[in-house]
Structure 1
Amino acid sequence: MQLRPLLTCVVLCIPLMACVTQTTVTAADRQHQPNLNMTEAARTRVALGINYLQVGDKSQAKYNLDKALQMAPQLAEVQNALAYYYQQVQDHEAVVKAYQQAMALEPDNADSYNNFGAYLCQQGQYQQAEQLLLAAIKRPGYFRVADSYENLALCALEQNDFTQARHYLSLSLTHNATRPSAQFNSAALYYATKQLEQAVRTLELMQRASQLSAPVLLLSYQVAQEQQQWKTMQDAEQQLFSLYPQSREALLLSQQQLSKSEFSVLRQRYLASTASAAVSPAQQPRIKIVIKKSATAESNKSQRRHQVQANESLAGIAQQYGVTMSDLISWNALRPDQALQEGQWLYLTGADRADQVTLPQRYQVKDGETLSQISLRYNIKLARLLQWNNLTEQSPVRAGQFIYLKDPAHLDYDN
């Protein structure tokens, strides 16, 4: 499994040199200048080879990298570039040989250790990968220490070691406090481990630095959703649909499939890892103690409605029944800021609510209402509401105006 889901791995750390200006060799520098020119020419070929790889032209990439090898066979950068090429064509033996050759040629070239370690982590060879990445960090003069610590974090995450991943990300940010990928990965880990306040602070730092992207906005939305910060949710949703309408994140949100987002998947991995640790054989008690479950606990599994008691909250009820707050709001047609009343009945499944409540086809706007308020009240995505009514976010609405709450293309006009 490659280091992907939400976290991208820093694999290639090869400096791409500018083109070399040709110089005339004089008698005074005849013994030194040709070798220097060949090294710089080789680096130029490496840069060309990498550029061809990035646009998918592997044959031209290999041609230029072979030329670089002919020009400077003792240059570790060339072997690093060849290893990267072999990764793209999935030649494992050639990858390993190239990286080993690079480290043999220049034992203090930290890039070789970092790249090889990242590659081995992708291959599931975690222990050797960690050794190589730590070796890169120890190399004198290495200025990509933050990269290698982040790679260590990603490698720990591949093993579901969330504590170690958090530790290595912290070290990455210690060496580069404004590193966007490490900040984003930290925020994602905070969300996965339910440290929401830390996630908010990290995301706010990124937003102040204008480090916005579709994944950042979706993560902001999901964090705000758990905290019941409805204005933040709405802002993140509007930015996501406005700036990245074709992104996978926008599609997941519009289709209400947030359980498939990379952040939800990461949280499920975290929960599974903690549950597995809690019941590991080494920690199980030798004597089983059987505790009879109460009738209330047993009935929670099949209960379909809940009567609100004094001082109960949506969050507490959702946790009690193992459902999400957004589902409770949707199933009961609540406003996000609506207070619960003692004695009020809440539906605990969408099917029961669907049987009892029919969403009106149209809604007549009241004085002072906005489209955003209506979308929240009826739990309809604002983007859908705008689309169904041929409106934009800037379109004015007036009291008495009718707007569709369902797709007009599928309305039953006989009812």
Structure 2
Amino acid sequence: MDKFLNKVTLLLCCLGLAGCVTQTYENDNHTPVVQNESSNNEIAMTRISLGLGYLKMGNTTQAKLNLEKAKRSAPHLVQVHTAFAHYYDTVGEPELATQAYEKALSIKGDDPDTLNNYGVFLCKQEKYELAEKQMLKAIAVPSYLLVAQSYENLALCQLDADAFDKAEHYLSKSIQHSPSNATAILHMMRLQYAKKNYVSAQQYLKRYEKATRRFLPEALALAYKIYSKQGKTKVAKNYASMLVKMFPNSFQARAFLLNDLASIEADVLAKRYAATQQTQVVTKKKKRFVKLSPKTTTANKKTTLNTASNLNTNTATSAPENTKNGNAPTQNSASKVTQQIDSNTKQASEVLTHTVAKGDTLFSISMLYNVHMKAIERWNNISRNQPIKIGDVIMVAAPKK
């Protein structure tokens, strides 16, 4: 049966190729010339596949060579320019990647895959509003099938921007479009934990267990924390036991044995969420409310103006007297305070560094300094897959510009 299906597939491919063949005639002797309109696109797609394969292996030279050949075969094929955009993003050329995405969209502005990928790229560049617009455009295309994945991408982008309510909304949409999407459910479980909605997090944990075929150490560690926060220590220990038995060499298992999972990635997210809540409270307190009063009469206005002018006159005349009477040190005190503020600002703006010690990872360093891991990667021009060595100096604050 499988062989039959393979033959049918091959036959369909041949029929598809035959349908693209056209016949034209030369002007002089009307000699027929057969041309295959799809052949250039197929050659280009093959080159793209090869180029991206080389790029994944780290062979950027062969990757670009194949992409250039794809571009020569089909310069107006959207996939050629999106592949170039991915290449430039990988080799750290964001401006060229942007140009490639814009070129692809100039050819076909409603291509949902390009719109989604461009949105993900813009999110990595911390252009969150533009990223959101591109991904929503992709979702709006009626023929687009990967709506759930785009909603999940939108949610992760909003989490990077600390827009937690938006992230929750987009994760809900992702799960609605794909109820068995285990990764989206896991992200929602982590977000509910960060917002201290432990009962809701537990409900999503049950949904995750039904949707997944294979547990992840991150999920087991999070399950342990969710039940621990609710005081359900027996159930929590069961998840911890599963974690240690199933993934003994994982970071989470070692962290449980060393410090009872004192801080996991969800705890870092919880700190960021708490910080945004404090900022919102402070902002609300700083809002000034203007109390409206009855209109002032002309006589009252004149009195107010006269009083103000008297105060200004008194201040101007009293200042020299204060200086003569030996009250000038007030000015010196003010200058000392200014100098102290300048000194504190200078110290705060200094770049902090961390020297890598045994057992350090980018994740553990980010938790130590309460800094997002992506920020550390950006400041040091490294990726989380790149190993760090003992003695390496890692910047944990934004470098001076």
- What TM-score do the two structures reach when normalised by structure 2? 0.62
**Letter of the 1:53 counterpart:** L
The whole-number CA distance in structure 1 between the counterparts of 2:91 and 2:73 is: 23
Instruction: Name the structure 2 match of 1:143.
Output: 145
Q: Superposition pairs for residues 13-412 of structure 1, below 5 Å? A: 29-31=21-23, 34-209=36-211, 210-256=213-259, 258-280=261-283
Q: How many residues align?
A: 269
Shift of the alpha carbon at 1:26?
8.4
Aligned-pair identity in percent equals 34
Shift of the alpha carbon at 1:243?
2.0
Shift of the alpha carbon at 1:208?
2.4
Contact 1:130 1:152 in 2 (8 A): yes
The whole-number CA distance in structure 2 between the counterparts of 1:135 and 1:177 is: 22
The whole-number CA distance in structure 2 between the counterparts of 1:64 and 1:257 is: 50
The whole-number CA distance in structure 2 between the counterparts of 1:221 and 1:125 is: 35
1:194 aligns to what SS in structure 2?
coil
CA RMSD of superposed structures (Å)? 2.8
Check 1:276–1:72 CA distance in 2 against 1; reply closer, same or farther (3 A cut): same
Instruction: Name the structure 2 match of 1:408.
Output: none
Contact 1:108 1:140 in 2 (8 A): no
The whole-number CA distance in structure 1 between the counterparts of 2:114 and 2:250 is: 34
* Structure 2: tracts of 5 or more residues without a match: 1-9, 24-33, 291-401
Check 1:57–1:244 CA distance in 2 against 1; reply closer, same or farther (3 A cut): farther
Structure number with bigger Rg: 2
Check 1:188–1:121 CA distance in 2 against 1; reply closer, same or farther (3 A cut): same
- Listed one character per residue, the Cα deviations across residues 301-340 of structure 1 (whole Å, up to 9, x for unaligned) are xxxxxxxxxxxxxxxxxxxxxxxxxxxxxxxxxxxxxxxx
Check 1:213–1:156 CA distance in 2 against 1; reply closer, same or farther (3 A cut): same
Shift of the alpha carbon at 1:242?
2.0
Shift of the alpha carbon at 1:148?
1.6
Question: Which structure's relative contact order is higher, taking Cα pairs within 8 Å and 6+ residues apart?
Answer: 1
Check 1:66–1:152 CA distance in 2 against 1; reply closer, same or farther (3 A cut): same
1:258 aligns to what SS in structure 2?
coil
Segments ≥4 residues shifted beyond 4 Å: 20-23, 25-28, 30-33, 281-287
Contact 1:180 1:211 in 2 (8 A): no
Shift of the alpha carbon at 1:222?
0.8
Shift of the alpha carbon at 1:21?
8.1
Contact 1:258 1:264 in 2 (8 A): no
- Listed one character per residue, the Cα deviations across residues 170-209 of structure 1 (whole Å, up to 9, x for unaligned) are 1111111111221111000010001111111111122223
Shift of the alpha carbon at 1:78?
1.5
